[in-house]
Amino acid sequence: MISQREKGIYFSFCTAQILLALLLFGLFYLANDFFRGSWLPAPGAYFQIMAVMVVALVIEAATRPDGQRVNAGRAQRKPAIALSRRQSLWLAAGFGVFIALTRDTSISRLFLVGLSVLSFPLFYVTNRHGRHWLFKVFRQGNLRLKLRTVVIGSEEWCRSVQDKIEAYREFFDPHPPLVCAPDEPVEELLAKVSALHPDLLVFPSREFPYETVSQLLALGDRSGFRCWIPVEMSRRHGRRFEVQDLGGLSVLSPPTLPLAVTYNRMIKRIFDIVVSAIIIPPIVLPLMVIVWTIQRFSSPGPLFYRQQRVGENGKIFGILKFRTMHMDNDDEARQASRHDDRIYRGGHWLRRLSVDEFPQFINVLLGDMSVVGPRPHMIAHEREFEKFHELYGSRRYVKPGVTGLAQVEGYRGEVKDAKDVRGRARYDLFYVKHWCIGLDFRLSLQTLGVLFHPPAKAY
């Protein structure tokens, strides 16, 4: 609610940062002039660089995730660093694209690199302290922008909500809470509220009869004060929800995950296609010949093994793997063990080095999987594993991956007990909630190390 009401401050804050970045540009340009003893060549081109700065920072602000947008209070150190790094990288990327397109040799590359580096401390200081100062400027000396706030309800409920209200004094002018019993006559309750003349009334709908809630809302409309009804599911069960509007139908929805955003999905899909196109021709195709040769001597039969797995949103798809077991396999659902007699000679090395997994890049190219994501399991295993972690099904909110955070952290191979399931689920859920394209890059590179140094349970 606060972020909805303060969008103007967010835009003002972003505008102030852009102006400060331009000021930094001017000072850095003058400093170059002072130390060089002459102006930088082609000053007109540097005006174009200024325009690139503005465009890059505007696009960054427009695409910034909600969790990194401005809010009340001073920012914590780590979020401020992450946001500042994001802004500096957007700036550097804008310079790089401009130079690549124009091939302008008159612009000093050292100047652009130095400007990108200097922008980070500027962004960090403003992100850490500047937005708090901006809120104070907007609110300073104008008490009527603060809402006279009254919290009513049971003593325990008032105490918990009052603490949260007190933490946002930039917005609220909190009065002592009005403690009342749920069965208090509605006429007396309305009289007490009217006598306080609030701007904002906060009360729990679950503690009052429907008639009392209706009359409190009607009193607010008539007397000109706002009514807030906190979302009890969020407060009682530790879950966060957001209000979504569907053509006039307001619903409470869990917070939007990064890969529910169309822009992010597009970026991830491009990454998947590029990586698959790089790996399939030079690696997967030669491996097909090598594996086929091993199979001819050890266990003749189909080159590929296709198995039904659970994908995004529960969609069933056929995963492709190089066949590493004999054809007379009577129990597909049984997990491979260390001395599994179903694996043919040479198949153990194919599995240990993850050679059997490479055909899954074809699944990635077809769109059933992603390069990075939670590993897909068989339907029977999914039903079994979800008993051991209360949020296990949240893994299915994204496409399954050829590799993932859990695999990089050592959770690979046979699942022996509930501890293995919970460990995998913990890392997979972290990935689902904190996805970014940089994380995909990092996990892809770390997977190379896992291939050369496979864990003990890789069999």
| Nearest of 179, 174, 167, 224 to residue 204 by alpha carbon | 179
- Residue with more model confidence, 153 or 252: 153
231 token code pair: 């979302």
Angle, CA of 194, 195 and 196, to the nearest 5°: 90
- Rg value, the chain, Cα: 29
Over residues 154-178, mean pLDDT? 84
DSSP letters along 386-444, please?
TTS-TTGGGGGGS--EEE-HHHHTT--S---SHHHHHHHHHHHHHHHHS--HHHHHHHH
Q: Summarize the confidence of residues 2-30 as an average pLDDT.
A: 76
Q: What whole-number percentage of the chain has pLDDT above 70?
A: 82
The per-residue pLDDT for range 348-385, each reduced to its tens digit, is: 888 888 898 999 999 999 999 999 999 999 988 888 88
Give the span between the Cα atoms of 408 and 448, in whole angstroms.
Answer: 9
pLDDT tier, 262 (very low <50, low <70, confident <90, very high otherwise): confident
Q: Is 71's pLDDT higher than 60?
A: no
Q: How many angstroms separate the Cα of 437 from the Cα of each of 79, 90, 267, 367, 372?
A: 17, 14, 8, 17, 10
Ramachandran region, residue 256 (left: φ > 0; alpha: ψ -120 to 50; beta: rest): beta
What are the strands, taking DSSP E only, across 314-383? 316-322, 370-372
Angle CA 371–289–351, to nearest 5: 50
Q: Are strands 249-253 and 242-246 parallel, antiparallel or unpaired?
A: antiparallel
Q: Which residue would you say has higher pLDDT here, 188 or 71?
A: 188
Categorize the per-residue pLDDT at 1 as very low, low, confident or very high, splitting at 50, 70 and 90.
very low
Which of these ranges, 296-300, 333-337, 356-360, 397-401, has the smallest mean pLDDT?
Answer: 333-337
| Residue whose C-alpha is closest to residue 215's, from 223, 458, 399 | 223
**pLDDT value at residue 7:** 54
Contact 350, 303 (CB under 8 A): no
- Write out the two tokens for 341: 């007699």
Q: Which residue has the higher pLDDT, 119 or 455?
A: 119
Q: Who wins on pLDDT, 259 or 34?
A: 259
- CB count in 10 Å sphere of residue 310: 22
pLDDT at position 55 is 93
Helix (H), strand (E), coil (C) string for 273-298: HHHHHHHHHHHHHHHHHHHHHHHHHH
**The dihedral sign for the CA sequence 363, 364, 366, 367:** positive
- Position 222 scores a pLDDT of 80
What tens digit of pLDDT does each residue of 405-436 get? Answer: 998 888 876 677 788 889 899 999 999 999 99
In total, the chain counts a number of residues equal to: 459
Residue 278 has pLDDT above 90, yes or no: yes
DSSP string, 127-171: IIIIHHHHHHHHHTT-GGGSEEEEEEE-HHHHHHHHHHHHTTTTT
Q: For 275-281, what is the mean pLDDT?
A: 95
Q: How many CA atoms lie within 13 A of 7 on its CB side?
A: 5
Residue 3: pLDDT band by 50, 70, 90 thresholds? very low
Rounded Cα–Cα distance for residues 459 and 440 (Å): 25
Average pLDDT, the chain: 83
For residue 443, pLDDT over 60 is answered with: yes
Please give the pLDDT value at position 150: 92
User: The whole model's pTM is what?
Assistant: 0.62
162 pLDDT band, cuts 50/70/90, is confident
